[in-house]
Structure 1
Amino acid sequence: MIQVSVIASKLNIYTLQSVAVSKDSVIVPTLDGQLLRVTLDGKSTSIVNLVQAELGVPFGIVEQEQDLIVTVSGYLPQHYLLRVKSDGKVETIADLTQRSGFYGAPFGVTLDQNSYLVTISTDVVESSSELIRVSRDGKISPIANLTKFGNPFGLVVQNQSIVVAQSYGQLVRVEKGEATAIVDLKAQGFGIPFDVTIWRDRLTATTNSGLVVQVDENGKVNTIADLAKAKYQIPSGIATFGKDLVVTTNGGFLLRISA
């Protein structure tokens, strides 16, 4: 039996922003540039405001050894992969501005051994995109071109492959530089995936139709929760929290999903 509970509400969240877990709290990027630390009893504190620091709006986020690894997109344009320390100190890992270009942006980020995997749109309008690897010292190397699947959003490492949520509706698996569709969620009526994690050994994604869905090893899709129907609006970020899930929505909710 799936249960959905509210951790916090009235958060300023955009649908393409992810969410991360750090120790016993949840880190939520907001549209006004903050990284909010939210405890399970709903209390929130701001770690840093990246817009005020003139770095941009945070999108992808993942925790690494109590640091936060964040993609940001500014308006000049300027795009970065950042490391944010627990005290709010910000370090630039890599300048992604030339890679993303004037009309692009970096979106998702996750860890892979000792480096970072980042999804980048090189032109949001044209939906040209790629998956790159960034070393800890900021060296950038391409992994795969994802343009035929649209703009890339959230991503997760599964076994020896990388799974990316794409704007044309697919969850895409990247192995040895080759990208293939696992499932077309949009074509099956589940919507466009925004973010993806692994929960109970299965790919679990948020979609723009308001759903949280799971995909098994055969590509079969099962709806876990209809958050739009429950009036939490459209889910965006998703991450595992112990045995549960945490999900953000563009209605400003931070939710906990348990079974």
Structure 2
Amino acid sequence: MALCCRSIDLVPASPMIQVSVIASKLNIYTLQSVAVSKDSVIVPTLDGQLLRVTLDGKSTSIVNLVQAELGVPFGIVEQEQDLIVTVSGYLPQHYLLRVKSDGKVETIADLTQRSGFYGAPFGVTLDQNSYLVTISTDVVESSSELIRVSRDGKISPIANLTKFGNPFGLVVQNQSIVVAQSYGQLVRVEKGEATAIVDLKAQGFGIPFDVTIWRDRLTATTNSGLVVQVDENGKVNTIADLAKAKYQIPSGIATFGKDLVVTTNGGFLLRISA
């Protein structure tokens, strides 16, 4: 059960930023993303649920993908009131799914062969009329790729990302794609070529998990407990230290109007305002 907390705390990293707790005690795993749909937030959970959480902290389960024997949801994005979700199961089985508002599930693409026995799909986002998906083909060896999936399930490779480790969240920025990578970089993919924008780990900000665009800047969560922004010159600025504020490690991040919503592995769904 999600619990709403109405108090607002100033985040130590920036006096201009405020954080409010929308919900707590959610069963969130570190690499799970988050999505916004109308006036609510969609949170994937480790036990397989997609939870619809309203701003007053009330939650309802849309579907349980583990109970449906499909897997644990990781990446998620909203498309025309449908939810596009990557899931990873234990057989192994990996899918890109479409979840309707009534909980009905449709398979867009079977990613099992692509991900392999030791891999998994992670992030997903929209690009015009298709889906961009990050895949680790072997989590242990950190081999990975970025693929495009058409609405009818056709898969085509975009770029090999192995030199940057396992790929997590991603976002489209102008004509390029930005991916959060396990070796610590935010990587830009353009015309099939992948180049590092910034190495967050090397600069002491940690490994990026998810990324969005907020106030025209790349904004990422990291395993150091931070939410950081990167400007057009690659300069990094910490906007929130959620670990220091005792919300633990942030995972999913998405824009919600003029604000951000962020999930943490401490079970919090947070709203960040400036």
Asked if these proteins are the same fold (TM beyond 0.5), I'd say: yes
TM-score (norm 2): 0.94
Distance in 2 (CA, whole Å) between partners of 1:237 and 1:156 is 12
1:57-97 Cα offsets, whole Å, 9 max, x none, are: 00000000000000000000000000000000000000000
Q: Tell me the CA shift for residue 7 of structure 1.
A: 0.1
Whole-Å separation in 1 of the counterparts to 2:152 and 2:63: 23
Shift of 1:155: 0.1
Q: What pairs up with 1:102-141 in 2 under 5 angstroms? A: 102-141=117-156
Q: CA deviation at 1:13?
A: 0.3
Aligned residues: 259
SS where residue 51 of structure 1 aligns?
Answer: coil
**How far does residue 110 in structure 1 lie from its aligned partner after superposition?**
0.0
- 1:188-238 deviations in whole A, cap 9, x for unaligned? 000000000000000000000000000000000000000000000000000
| SS of residue in 2 equivalent to 1:245 | strand
SS in 1 for 2:31: coil
CA distance in 2, matches of 1:209, 1:12: 20
Gaps of at least 5 residues in structure 2 are 1-15
Which of 68, 79, 87 pairs up with 1:64?
A: 79
Separation in 2, partners of 1:24, 1:46: 16
**Matched-pair identity in %:** 100
Length-normalised TM-score, structure 1:
1.00
1:99 partner SS: helix
Describe the superposition over 1:110-165 as per-residue Cα deviations: whole angstroms up to 9, x where unpaired: 00000000000000000000000000000000000000000000000000000000
Q: Which runs of 4+ in 1 moved over 4 A?
A: none
**RMSD between superposed Cα atoms in Å:** 0.2
How far does residue 256 in structure 1 lie from its aligned partner after superposition?
0.1
Matched, 1:84 2:99: yes
1:31, distance to aligned residue in structure 2 (A)? 0.2
Q: Which residue is equivalent to 2:168?
A: 153
Tell me, which stretches of 5 or more residues in structure 1 are unaligned? none
CA offset digits 1:165-185 (Å, max 9, x no partner):
000000000000000000000
